[in-house]
Structure 1
């Protein structure tokens, strides 16, 4: 066996990685093998785990396998994000296999694409996930966000079409196996906005500081005064929106462009695959929809396509459920869906004010990572010297102006009362 490492040694625990790779090689029938390790993405593109691409080659043969390794080992993230790692491992072991099983009897082109977990551990000092490398299957990240380019309508439409099918799997599982579904939902209540996690992970400061950074950018003084009332009760408001309502599914929880892979096919409809399930929660499906639209599109786009995209989502939900002989009206009536969308809009504004800094950050700038490696002050965040900072200011004022004009800002303020 041999190992070629193309990254700094301190970024991973080589002996632990080696042991896990041996497990994968055995699964693939490789006795004598070598492997190469490199970063799967830029260091600043994932804030919770270190992510590597590992190519395993069967010595003397043409056989090889490429895998993605996510690990907290040998990093300051280990103690901070252990609960998120456990959540993602649970999703890969208990949720996604059930979702895959449900889809066995439908056409492969109709199925929701789900990543495969090949190995996992939640053991202390051995926190690791090894996943299939979807790049081999033709999936890739979209680079528009990294290059400050807008997503186009067809991309957004595709995401909402597949998101509806992903949500539909919860309704289907609930109908076909209610006992198991109830067990899953009891394990998948929100953790991201809860005190136990926030206190341990330091994310309480991140949420409040990010909101303060956004406040510093706002030019509308009346809007800023109203939002000051929200700032003091931010986490309570966020908890309120992600609490289960009358209609709920297993939501992705962090549905934005960096957690989605695209596969463009000739003569076939393009596909996507959702990644990073650390924040999966049992909540109303509109929280995923609004989160994605507010973080990944701008006010002009939403003004033009928002109504159409609601129809796209609901029609996809209806069509996918029909494959399983389920009438959408029995699990999520259209009127309730429309009402839930309207009630969730303030959540989109609140999350934009918290997360827009990350969405508009270049890989050279400091964001959430500074909560592990050093502080970021509100004054530093207000510096417009970089293109990311300018985009940040523009996007914040864009969403605030929109929310003033359509009454969502007032709804958010009302939510704290």
Structure 2
């Protein structure tokens, strides 16, 4: 692919015509089309990939016109990035999700006469070759979906919508495993490895450790020495990379295929059509499965809740866990499996005590990306801009709230 910044170059146009206009529409009986290409507005949010938006106005052989609004996601083309980031591994996992796992889930739901999951964007095309990694999805923003401001916590309604989606996503894994579906069991072989491990060996791993040390400094500077001591005792090690590696290496029979990348920017929300003021979200969509693996559901839940909630939302923690479990149980029952046998609520709470350090330890790192200032990038570079984010009052408040909840929750749940 051509460089992500050169969206008008002949090379990129050629790639897009071949990968989108021909392959993605070949089953649509298309005779001719007009194509518009434009770039992403927020490069900072794409670590190992670039994004192009593609709008196609097409006409079939019956002279019927139809518009296609697509997102083309492709591997970062700069060699210095590709040498540092395991781009191909992430794309390979994500392509398996779109081409094998989701069709498996939808086939299973249809067999059970259940509406197939509808919170994942439709995938038109994937390509994984020696030179390219490409995923073409429908552009949900053209349907009224919007990102939630990453600087702000999600509200309780949004969090519950995501937890309902996770409940359906996790239930499908649990039920297919319970019923020994051969197709699913074969697919799980692609998700056994720790997707974080290659990242820990580069600059990103260093930033994860830096974020953890920043949290320790914040707690000490704010007089929370007792909280700091309890937190360090619970996580067991001052290296975030070591903590995450040990958690991801734990053997767990009760496991699902995770979403894996559970921060604000991997969700889109849509309000009711008659909600002109956009006061509440009615639908959610989730995407980006490059960090998917097979682990306890709590890896998703702790990563998500600690990445999107403020102290106000964390006060509703038990309510949120009960909300998730209610929908998990409903989905499992519809799919023909017994939730009390597979994953009772007591086991969910035990898993939270065992694995929630995953979300707590990731939180200071994720918060850096939430509060990064794009305008500082040119002056300071990525790493220094990320470090500067830890000085912001909202960063301090959010990370302290998570540390406090993580410590107190160990004694409450």
**Farther-moved stretch of structure 1 (309-318 vs 244-253):** 244-253
Tell me if 1:142 matches 2:147: yes
Aligned mate of 1:293, from 293, 301, 305: 305
Q: 2:27 maps to what in 1?
A: 27
Secondary structure of the residue aligned to 2:36 is strand
Aligned to 1:259: 266
Aligned counterparts of 2:195 and 2:204: Cα–Cα separation in 1: 9
Structure 1 counterpart SS, 2:366: helix
Cα-to-partner distance string for 1:111-133 (whole Å, 9 max, x where unaligned): 45322221112213221111122
Cα distance between partner residues in 2 of 1:258 and 1:252: 13
1:334-357 per-position Cα deviation (integer Å, ceiling 9, x unaligned): 221121122223222211122221
CA-to-aligned-CA distance 1:186-220 (integer Å, 9 cap, x gap): 210243332x4533x54322322333343443323
2:384 corresponds to 1:376: yes
Q: What SS does the aligned partner of 1:13 have?
A: helix
Q: Distance in 1 between matches of 2:226 and 2:11?
A: 49
2:232 and 2:346 mapped to 1: Cα distance? 33
What SS does the aligned partner of 1:276 have? coil
What does residue range 14-413 of structure 1 map to in structure 2 within 5 Å? 14-21=13-20, 22-58=22-58, 62-76=65-79, 77-79=81-83, 80=85, 81-105=87-111, 111-136=117-142, 138=143, 140-145=145-150, 148-194=151-197, 196-199=198-201, 202-218=203-219, 219=221, 220-221=224-225, 223-224=227-228, 232-242=238-248, 243-265=250-272, 270-303=282-315, 305-366=316-377, 375-376=383-384, 380=388, 384=391, 389-406=392-409
Distance 1:272 1:144 in 2: 14
Displacement of 1:170: 0.3
Displacement of 1:407 in angstroms is: 5.2
Deviation for aligned residue 1:50: 0.9
Indicate the residue corresponding to 1:415 in structure 2: none
Question: Aligned pair 1:13/2:5, yes or no?
Answer: no
Partner of 1:414: none
Unaligned runs of 5+ in 2: 276-280
Cα deviation for residue 49 of structure 1 reads: 1.2
Q: Counterparts of 1:215 and 1:130 in 2: how far apart (Å)?
A: 42
Kept in 2: contact 1:53–1:67 (CA 8 A): yes
Cα deviation, residue 74, structure 1: 2.8
How many residues are matched? 390
Root-mean-square deviation over aligned CA pairs? 3.3
Q: 3-state DSSP class of the match of 2:136? A: strand
How much does 1:181 deviate? 2.8
Q: Do the aligned partners of residues 184 and 26 (structure 1) sit closer, same or farther apart at CA in structure 2, a change above 3 Å counting?
A: closer
Q: 1:227 to 1:172 in 2, by over 3 A?
A: closer
Q: Secondary structure at the match of 1:364?
A: helix
For residues 336 and 363 of structure 1, do their structure 2 counterparts lie closer, same or farther at Cα, with a shift above 3 Å needed? same
Give 2:278's aligned residue.
Answer: none
Say which is worse superposed, 237-246 or 226-235, in terms of deviation.
226-235
**TM-score w.r.t. structure 2 length?**
0.83
Q: Contact 2:94–2:290 (CA<8 Å) still a contact in 1? A: yes
Contact (CA 8 Å) 2:7, 2:39: kept in 1 or not? no
Task: Tell me the TM-score normalised to structure 1 length.
Answer: 0.82
1:54-112 deviations in whole A, cap 9, x for unaligned? 01122686322111100115334444222111111121122111111122256776745
Q: Deviations over 1:269-303 (max 9, x none)?
A: 93322100000110000111111111100233212
Please tell me whether the aligned partners of residues 318 and 328 of structure 1 are also in contact (alpha carbons under 8 angstroms). yes
**Relative to structure 2, which stretch is displaced further, 43-52 or 310-319?**
43-52
Structure 1 unaligned residues grouped into runs of 5+:
409-417
Instruction: State how far apart, in whole Å, the 2-side matches of 1:75 and 1:6 are.
Output: 11
